[in-house]
Amino acid sequence: MKLQRPSVAPVICAIFAVTFLSPECRAADVDVKGLQLCGVLRRGMKDYSNHNLTAVPSHLPRDTQYLDISYNPIHRLDADQFFGLSQLCFLKATHCGLREISSTVFKHTPGLKVLNISHNSLPYIPAISLERLQVFALDNNLYSSYKIPSSFQDMKGLNSLLLGSTAATTVGFQDFDALTNVSLNHLLLGAGTPWRNYDSGSLARINLQEISLHVSFCEDFTMLEDLLRDLAEARVRSIRLRSVFPDTCRVTGDPFFKLRTMPFIQRLSLENTWINSSFMEVFLKNVWFSPLRELLFVNITYNEDTADGFQFPTMNSTINLRSVTFNGVNHYQYKYPTFNMSFKAFSELKYLKFSGTGMNILPCGVISTLPSLEMLDLSDNLLSESGFWWFHCSYSSTFPKLQKLSLSRNRFISLSFISKKMQQMKTLKSLDLSFNSIHLDGTCSWPAQLTELSLGNNNLGNTVFDFLSPNFERIDLTKTGITALTQEVLSRFPKLEQLILSSNSIQLFPEDLSAPTLLRLHVDQNAITSVSREALAGLPRLQTLIAGDNPYFCSCDMHWFTTALNKSLLPDWPFDYTCSTPPSLSGLSLSEYKTSRLSCEVWLQATVALPVLTAVCTALGVIFCKCDGVWYTRMLWTWIRMKRRGMKRSNLLKNASFSYHAFISYSHQDSDWVDSQLVPSLEGNGFSLCIHERDFVPGEWILDNIINSQIHQHPKGLHSLLEPIPADSLPKKFLRLRSLLEQQTYLEWPSDQRKQQVFWASLKSLLHMADKAVVLKDVAHDLLDRVPLLTGQTGQFQ
C-alpha cells in the first residue's frame, strides 16, 4: 500500500483511554478499579487531599471506606492513625513526601483492598502484609532496589502491583522471589529511566499474565532480549513497552527477534515512543513470524529515515495478527509518510483502528482488500463524506464482512447521505457517528441489517427519532438535546433492546412506557426527579438501568425505588444516586435515605389507623360512661343553651321589671323537699321565689294570682325536675305536656351527692341571668295557655 497525503494538512495528536499510558492515566485506572472493588458509598468517602495536613485526620467516622490524604505534607504513617477504621477499603496517599511506613501500620484496617502510595519519597519497599489487598501502587518513589519484602508472600489475593523508582536501575535475580506463590495478573516496572543491569531469570519464576515496562533500552538491547526470554518462560500473554526508545535513540540490530520464540505471547503494545521507518521494517518481520494476535501503537512519533519511506516486501505466509491499532500518530516532517505494503497479507485481519492520525482520505485498499475485516475504527480524524467515499477509488466490493464501523470525532454532516451510502455495506450492523456535526437534512434510508446507531454529542433535538429506522435495536443519543421520552417514540422501535439517553434534559420518566424488548436503558445525567414503579412495569425484560446523577427528590415517590427495586438492575448503585431536594437531604445517598412504608402507603395507614381509632374510641366511651359523662354532658349542654338564650333575650328585658326570679310548681308529695331544700337554698342566696301557698292572694282566681305574681319565665324556658318523668308515662290527653317534656330543656335532681352540688351551681347560675325588675305581660299570657297542663302529679318547678 502506498499512501501520500497533502503536505499542508496540520499534524494531529490524539491520545485515547488506553490503560497505563501515563502516570495520570495509571492513577485514574487505579482509582476506577479500586472504587469498583470496594463498592464505596458517598457517605463512606472522605477526601482530605490538599488540606495541608501533617498527619492522618483524627476522629474519622468508623464507616469510612475511602480515604484520600494526597498532596499533604505527611511524612510518616503509623498504626494509631488508622485506629477504628476497620471498614477502610481504599487508601490513597500520593504526593505526600512519605518517607517511612510502619510494618504494622495497617493492623487496624484488615479489609484494605486498594493501597495507592505512589509518587512519594519512600527509600524502600515497605514490608507490609494485607491478606485482602488486591491493588498495590507504589511506583514513582525513591527506593534503590526492586527487592520485594518476604511479607508479600502472604498477600495471596494481590492482583495488580505497580513498582517504579528513578533510583532503582538494576533488577537482581532474587528481587521477586516473594512473588513466586502469588498469581499476579499485572505487574508494572520502571519509572522511565534506563536500567544499568538486568539479571537474566529475575522474572522467569513468577506467575504473571501481563507486564507493563516503563524502561528505556536504547543503550543496551541485550537486557531487552534477556527480559523477553524470561517473560516467555513466565508465560506472559501481554506486554506493554512504554518509552522503550527515546527520541534520540538510533535502533540497531534486531532487539525484538525473541518475539518469534514466545509461544504464549498474544498482545504487544508500543506506547509513547519514537519509531523510524527502518526499525518498523525489521520489527514487523518479527511480528510476522510470532504468535502475536494483537499489535498496538499508541501515541507514537513516526519518522522516515529511509529515502523511499516504509517498504515492506511481500511475504509468502499470512500474518497471525487479528487486530492492529494506531492510536495517536505524530509526524513532524514536511512531507507525509509513504507506506508501501500489501493488504493482501492481512487477509485474516478482523480489527483495524486508525485513530488520531490526521487521516482525511481513506485508502482505497482498506475498503476492498480486507475480506475478513469485521471492525473498523477511524475515529478522531479529519474525514468527511468526500474523504471516506473518495471519488478516485474504484472497487468491486465494499467491506464484504464489516459489521462495526466507527466514524466518531470526524467531520461528517449529512445524515441522509450517510444512510444511503450504508446500503453498500451489506453486512454492517453497527455505526458510530458521535461527535460530528450531523444535520437532519432529509429522509433517511437505512439498510435493514443495520441494528445499532450512535449519534451522541450531535445537536439534534427531539425530532431525531423521525430519522431513525424501526429496525434499530440499539440507539445511542447521548447529549443530543432531547427533552422528553414518550411512549409514542418508543412504539416506533418494536425491536429496541438498548436505548442510551444520557446527558440530556429529560425531566419526566413517563408512567405509561411500554417497551417489551428493552434490555438496557440509560437516563443518567438528566433532570429526572423520581422513577415510579409504574414506569418500569412496562419494561418487563429490563436487565440494566443507568439512572444516576439525576436531581432526585427524596420523598415517598422514591421509597419503592430505594427499598423494593432489585438493585442488580443498577450497576452504578449507590454511588451515583443522591438526593437533590429537599435542601435538608441534599447530597445524601439514596441508599441512606430512610422512610417507612407506613408513612408512604395510604392504604396501609388506613389499615393501621382504623383498629387503633376504634380501640381508642371504645376505651374513651367506657371511661366516659363509668365517670357519668352522659349526665355531665347534659348539664353542660343545658347551661350553654340557657346562657345563649339569656344573651338573646337580654335586649328585650332591658326595660322590664320582675317581682320574682322563679315560680315554683310542685306536687304535694315533694313539698317537704321544696320547703327544706329548694326554698332555703335559693332564697338564702338572694333569689325571690313565688310559692303559691305563701304568695298567692286569698280569694283571687288562680289565674289572676299567676298573672299578678309576674312570673319571671314561661314554660319555653328553663325547667327542673325533682325526678325524671318518662314522656310515655303521662296520659295521652296531656299532649302539650308530653311535648314539653320531649322538647324543652330541664334539670333533673340527682341522687348522687356530688352531682347535687353541680345541680345547685347550674340552677343558681342560670337564675342570675334574669332581671327581676319587671315581667313581660305577654309571657304571663303565654303561661295562661299552659295552666291546664300544670295539673297532675309532676314535681316541676319553674
pLDDT one-digit tens code per residue, 179-237: 999 999 999 999 988 899 999 999 999 999 999 999 988 767 889 999 999 999 999 99
One-letter amino acid for residue 479 of the chain? K
pLDDT in tens, 240-263: 999 888 777 777 778 899 999 999
Helix axes 602-626, 629-649, angle to 10 degrees: 90
Q: What is the DSSP string of 460-485?
A: --GGGGGGS-TT-SEEE-TTS-----
The answer, yes or no, to whether residue 178 has pLDDT greater than 60, is: yes
pLDDT in tens, 81-97: 999 999 999 999 999 99
Report CA torsion sign: 665, 671, 672, 675.
positive
CA distance 518 to 324: 34
CA distance 522 to 546: 5
CA distances from 228 to 179, 191, 212, 283 (A): 19, 19, 12, 14
What does R_g of the chain's alpha carbons equal in angstroms?
49
CA distances from 263 to 206, 228, 292, 293 (A): 17, 12, 9, 12
Q: By the 8 A CB rule, do 528 and 506 touch?
A: yes
CA distance 399 to 349: 12
pLDDT in tens, 123-164: 999 999 899 999 999 999 999 999 999 999 999 999 999 999
pLDDT in tens, 717-766: 445 555 566 656 556 555 555 665 565 556 777 777 777 777 777 777 77
Q: Which value, to the nearest 10 degrees, does the dihedral of the CA atoms of residues 26, 29, 30, 33 take?
A: -160
Per-residue confidence (pLDDT) for residue 650, from 0 to 100: 60
Please report the beta strands in 591-745, taking only residues with DSSP state E, as ranges in sequence order: 662-664, 689-691, 719-721
The answer, yes or no, to whether residue 10 has pLDDT greater than 70, is: no
Q: In terms of DSSP bridges, do strands 689-691 and 662-664 run parallel, antiparallel, or are they unpaired?
A: parallel
Per-residue confidence (pLDDT) for residue 347, from 0 to 100: 83
pLDDT in tens, 615-624: 888 888 888 7
Helix (H), strand (E) at residue 528: none
Buried b (16+ CB within 10 A) or exposed e, 381-417: bbbbeebbbeeebeeeebbeebbbbbbbbbbbebbee
Q: What is the DSSP letter of 141?
A: E
Report CA torsion sign: 447, 448, 449, 455.
positive
pLDDT in tens, 24-81: 555 567 777 777 888 777 778 899 999 999 999 988 999 999 999 999 999 999 999 9
Segment 766-770 long-range contacts (CB within 8 Å, at least 24 positions apart): 766/639, 766/642, 766/643, 766/646, 766/718, 767/661, 767/662, 767/682, 767/687, 769/642, 769/643, 769/646, 770/646, 770/653, 770/658, 770/661, 770/712, 770/713
Q: Which value, to the nearest 10 degrees, does the dihedral of the CA atoms of residues 663, 668, 673, 676 take?
A: 80
pLDDT in tens, 524-542: 999 999 998 888 999 999 9
Q: Three-state DSSP class for 39?
A: coil
Strand partners, 689: 662
- Residue 775: pLDDT band with limits 50, 70, 90: very low
pLDDT in tens, 481-525: 999 999 999 999 999 999 999 999 999 988 889 999 999 999 999
Q: Three-state DSSP class for 637?
A: helix
CA distances from 402 to 376, 411, 428, 693 (A): 7, 22, 6, 127
Q: What is the DSSP string of 235-255?
A: T--EEEEES-S-TT----S-T
The answer, yes or no, to whether residue 444 has pLDDT greater than 60, is: yes
The whole-model pTM stands at 0.71
Picking from 241, 289, 249, the residue whose alpha carbon sits closest to that of residue 269 is: 241
Per-residue confidence (pLDDT) for residue 771, from 0 to 100: 44
